[in-house]
Amino acid sequence: MDGSSLRTLFSEEKIQKRIREMGTQIDADYPGGTLHLVCILKGACFFMADLARSIERDVVVDFMGISSYGRGKTTSGAVKLTKDLDTAIEGADVLLVEDIVDTGVTITYLVNVLEQRKPKSIRIATLLDKPSRRLRPVKVAYVGFEIPDEFVVGYGLDYAERYRNLRDVCVLQGPQVA
């Protein structure tokens, strides 16, 4: 026991219902063609898997590795590309898939990198949005849930690599969470 506790913020049912709604919206917004889904590792892979299956049009799935937080809970401000895409995105409709947009530093860096490859469009889909923490202005096209400034884990989100496999999104409280 480390004295920490979890409080459910969004249940599995609520998350899955919201993702189905997001998929329907995305299908309606893109009139045709293939949508290029780019998952930002590692946290977003759970959301990506469910979102991709809620979209009915053709999709390509690809992955980018980004490291910005290290093992702790606060950002270092440094963004490092740890894995690049396997596929070209020139002329493609790209949807960046994130688990959370917090300060906006990571997604701003990624959008800048990918825009240089001349996609037809780039939009952002995130399960969670914490706008009160923003350091960079970010236009997020699809938001699952807006959340207050609390430390959340589960459904892909970690604290020092723990909790990613929780089915719910939970607030982590305890001595180690300042």
Q: Which residues bind ligand PRP (CB under 6 A)?
A: 40-44, 66-69, 75, 98-107, 158
Query: What residues contact residue 108 under an 8 Å CB cut-off, 6+ apart?
Result: 136, 138
Name the minimum Å distance from CB 17 to ligand PRP.
22
Strands (E), 19-162: 35-41, 59-67, 80-83, 93-101, 121-129, 142-146, 152-153
Residue (27 or 108) nearer to ligand PRP, CB: 108
Question: Would you give the distance in Å from CA 30 to the centre of its chain?
Answer: 20
Sequence-distant (≥ 6) Cβ neighbours of residue 6 within 8 angstroms: 153, 154, 163, 166, 170, 171, 172, 173
- Shortest Å, Cβ 141 to ligand PRP: 16
Residue 77 beta carbon to ligand PRP: minimum distance, rounded to whole angstroms: 9
Asked about 102 being catalytic, the answer comes back as yes
Q: Which of 102, 129, 149, 158 is catalytic?
A: 102
Looking at beta carbons only, is 27 or 45 nearer to ligand PRP? 45
Q: Which is nearer to ligand PRP, 23 or 43 (CB)?
A: 43
Catalytic residue ranges: 102
